């Protein structure tokens, strides 16, 4: 996600994802989760939207800085819900909410999950409703990881790496480890990754433009 936003929010980016890179494999994706303090009286996405509409400009939303996934997803949520959120940037994800332990914090009661920011429930959080279930359809966002090579890399090399990545991501131990951390192994090849990358550029460019997000 960060490589996409690095291009779309920078008025003079140093690279072009469409021209300078060759997508190889979309490795895995993880659910983005909307969480609030367990001390809050919010129990649903509807509660949060109602509170934000009753208290415009007073609902704080933690993120990891300009262009970060938490900020972009929050902006998309605010646009779809018709509310205003006040951005509270931190130097990075660990200071905001440690991404690798967010599921553990939810389980331990240190965070309250209202929804997964996707069209379906996350395997790691089956009891948490999806954003679609919460009344905001077509809200499929994720933290994803992929492998790319410089443009012009020979196709036989790209296919060889893509094949190895697909096999690796579907090994039982890899699947188990990833799912424990809230990720889903994908191992999708060059063509599927390219289509996904283009869709991400299009979607987040529109969100950034509407929200006025610039570096």
Q: Rounded CA gap, 68 and 99, in Å?
A: 13
Looking at the structure, tell me whether residues 63 and 129 fall in a common domain: yes
- R_g over Cα of the chain: 18
Q: Are residues 59 and 105 in the same domain?
A: yes
- Per-residue model confidence (pLDDT) at position 95: 46
Angle at 168 between CA 197 and CA 192, to 5 degrees: 25
The reply to whether 2 falls in a domain is no
Domain that holds residue 38: 33-140
Total domains present in the chain:
2
Tokens 């410089």 sit at which residue? 150
> Does 97 score more than 80 pLDDT?
no
Q: What is the mean pLDDT of residues 55-81?
A: 89
Q: How confident is the model at residue 24 (pLDDT cuts 50, 70, 90)?
A: very high
pLDDT in tens, 143-191: 899 999 999 999 999 999 999 999 999 999 999 999 888 889 999 999 9
The whole-angstrom separation of Cα 76 and Cα 142 is 13
Neighbours of 126 (CB within 10 A): 8
Q: Which of 12-21, 72-81, 97-106, 107-116 has the lowest mean pLDDT?
A: 97-106
Of 113, 140, 167, the position where a domain reaches its end is 140
Please give the residue that has the higher pLDDT: either 101 or 198: 198
pLDDT band at 214; cut points 50, 70, 90: confident
Q: DSSP letter for 130, please.
A: B
Cβ atoms within 10 Å of 95's Cβ, excluding its own: 12
Overall average pLDDT of the 47-67 stretch: 90
Residue 130 sits in a domain whose CATH number is 3.40.190.10
Instruction: Give the orientation angle of helix 190-211 with respect to helix 69-81, to 10 degrees.
Output: 60
Residue 132 shares a structural domain with residue 176: no
pLDDT given for residue 140 in this prediction: 86
Closest CA relative to residue 140, chosen from 184, 85, 110: 184
Residue 92: pLDDT band (50, 70, 90) is low
Among residues 117, 140, 163, the one where a domain terminates is: 140
Q: Report the DSSP beta bridge partners of residue 88.
A: 62
Whole-angstrom distance, CA of residue 208 vs CA of residue 195:
20
Q: What is the DSSP string of 75-127?
A: HHHHHHHT---EEEE-SSHHHH--GGGHHHHHHTTSSEEEEESSSS--TT-TT
């Amino acid at each position: 996600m960060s490589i996409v936003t690095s291009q779309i929010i920078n008025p003079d980016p140093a690279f072009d994802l469409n021209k300078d890179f060759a997508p190889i494999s979309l490795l895995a994706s993880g659910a983005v989760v909307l969480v609030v303090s367990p001390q809050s009286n919010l129990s649903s996405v509807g509660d949060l939207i109602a509170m934000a509409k009753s208290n415009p400009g007073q609902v704080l939303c933690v993120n990891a800085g300009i262009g970060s996934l938490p900020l972009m997803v929050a902006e998309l949520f605010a646009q779809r819900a018709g509310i205003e959120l006040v951005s509270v940037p931190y130097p990075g994800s660990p200071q905001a909410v440690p991404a690798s332990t967010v599921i553990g914090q939810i389980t331990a009661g240190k965070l309250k999950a209202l929804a997964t920011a996707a069209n379906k429930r996350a395997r790691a959080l089956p009891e948490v409703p999806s954003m679609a279930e919460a009344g905001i359809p077509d809200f499929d966002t994720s933290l994803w990881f992929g492998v790319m090579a410089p443009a012009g890399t020979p196709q036989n090399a790209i296919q060889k790496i893509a094949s190895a990545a697909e096999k690796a991501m579907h090994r039982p131990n890899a699947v188990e480890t990833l799912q424990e951390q809230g990720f889903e192994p994908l191992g999708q090849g060059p063509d599927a990754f390219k289509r996904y990358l283009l869709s991400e550029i299009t979607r987040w460019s529109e969100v950034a433009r509407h929200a006025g997000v610039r570096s």
